[in-house]
Structure 1
Amino acid sequence: MSNSHLFLKSAFPRAPLQNGLGRFVPQMQRITLKFCKNNGSSRGMRDFIENDLIDFAKNNPGTVVYVKPRRHRTPVMVAEYLNGEREWVNCRNNSRDEINKWVNLLKTQNGPSSSIRLRKMWHTDNPSIQGPWTPFTLRHPVQNLMQFPNKDLARPLDVEKSATERVIELMEKQKIN
């Protein structure tokens, strides 16, 4: 067992703003595209900005897009989400299509999911006041004191025969004839 989880932020899973109830709220608040105007490693980012950025901004009015040219730096995308998380993606030597895929992936995410160690695997906004369900929840309390195997709980003999028993009888009748 590794101890890598000790350095991760610990949290309970949280449904973002009850998303999906009523209307969908996109979780990416803003995206910043940082690139160099001259460097060759920024060519894909520049092509994306020239050809696809306007369409992305029109299709996602709830997301603010910042374009930040920087000299002699590697192209980077920084996505900021409504829950306060930030995700940073290095786009060095990526093509226009790869950057388009990254932008769409960041748009559909909730934030960086790998940076949180979950304490529970489930979440509910309305926890039960009855407590957790167990296999013994709806059992009659008399069964707690019974000794097993118990003949009272066994299948009565006057019940119809099972399908397997019927097939065996039919096979025996065919052998006799």
Structure 2
Amino acid sequence: MKIRELIKYSLNPRIVEDASLPVGYIRNAYYNGVGRYVCQLQRLTIKFCKSSHTSSGVRDYIENGLLNFSRQNPGVAIYMKPRLHRTPVIVTEYLNGHYQWMSVRNFTKTELEMWMETLRSRSGYEISQLISNNNVLTPSVQGIWNPFLNRPTHLNGKTFPIEEQSKFIPELDSATKQLLDMIKQNNLTDMDELNKRDTQKQE
């Protein structure tokens, strides 16, 4: 197959990063594939012309490839709608209510096979620019942080503000408190020495 034919149905990064596309995260049907996989494509309509040259590839695919596609995907309802002198199109409808309209003018049978597989495996959501490659439905297992998280439960019945809980507790002691602690420690050592002397005199 020629390279210019592959480009038509390849996922080009320039298309995905187009500024005109909406911005969002990767979206898919919730929990689809965790247990039983459910194909999101439910209805596929092929509109073509019986005599136009632009629909020759579509007619070839209907005669030689559509039967295999329907056997492999029994859950997809396929409709064919002949229209005289109209551009061939494919309309797909998904479980989430969205539908995709695509023109297949002058497409070959091989291109149609590739595009049919792409449309079948899609979730139905629009292609959008990715804000991030990673996304979770629940940002945190323990929940969003709030000021009362991990607080003692006895505070639930009290009226705020509480004077004891409202006091500012610095990480480091102030210089005044450090000096007072030093004086207190020196006084204790002096008292210990006096007590030792008294015991020695009594002996």
One-letter amino acid of the structure 2 residue matched with residue 24 of structure 1: Y
One-letter amino acid of the structure 2 residue matched with residue 130 of structure 1: G
**Are residue 23 (structure 1) and residue 44 (structure 2) matched?**
no
2:55 and 2:106 map into 1 onto residues whose CA distance is 6
**Are residue 39 (structure 1) and residue 39 (structure 2) matched?**
no
- Which consecutive residues of structure 1, in runs of 5 or more, have no partner in the other structure? 133-144, 147-177
Match of 2:92 among 68, 74, 79: 79
In the TM superposition, structure 1's runs of 4+ consecutive aligned residues that sit over 2 Å from their partners are 2-5, 10-15, 116-121, 123-132
Following TM superposition, by how much is the alpha carbon of 1:129 offset from its aligned partner in structure 2, in angstroms? 3.6
Following TM superposition, by how much is the alpha carbon of 1:19 offset from its aligned partner in structure 2, in angstroms? 0.7
One-letter amino acid of the structure 1 residue matched with residue 82 of structure 2: P
Following TM superposition, by how much is the alpha carbon of 1:88 offset from its aligned partner in structure 2, in angstroms? 1.2
2:79 and 2:64 map into 1 onto residues whose CA distance is 16
- Which consecutive residues of structure 2, in runs of 5 or more, have no partner in the other structure? 1-17, 146-170, 173-203
Deviations 1:47-93 (A, max 9, x none): 00011111110100111111110111011011111111111111100
Q: As a proportion of its length, which structure holds more helix?
A: 2
2:118 and 2:105 map into 1 onto residues whose CA distance is 17
1:25 and 1:3 map into 2 onto residues whose CA distance is 32
> Aligned residue for 2:141?
128
Identical pairs, percent: 39
Decide whether the 8 Å contact of 1:14 with 1:123 is kept in 2.
no
Distance 1:125 1:35, change over 3 A: farther
1:60 and 1:3 map into 2 onto residues whose CA distance is 35
**Are residue 69 (structure 1) and residue 77 (structure 2) matched?**
no
Distance 1:117 1:44, change over 3 A: same
One-letter amino acid of the structure 2 residue matched with residue 28 of structure 1: L
Q: CA RMSD in A?
A: 3.1
Following TM superposition, by how much is the alpha carbon of 1:124 offset from its aligned partner in structure 2, in angstroms? 2.2
Using structure 1 for the length normalisation, give the TM-score. Answer: 0.62
1:16 partner SS: coil
Decide whether the 8 Å contact of 2:41 with 2:92 is kept in 1.
yes
> Aligned residue for 2:118?
105
1:15 and 1:106 map into 2 onto residues whose CA distance is 14
Distance 1:123 1:13, change over 3 A: farther
2:84 partner SS: coil
Larger Rg: 2
> Aligned residue for 2:191?
none
> Aligned residue for 1:49?
62
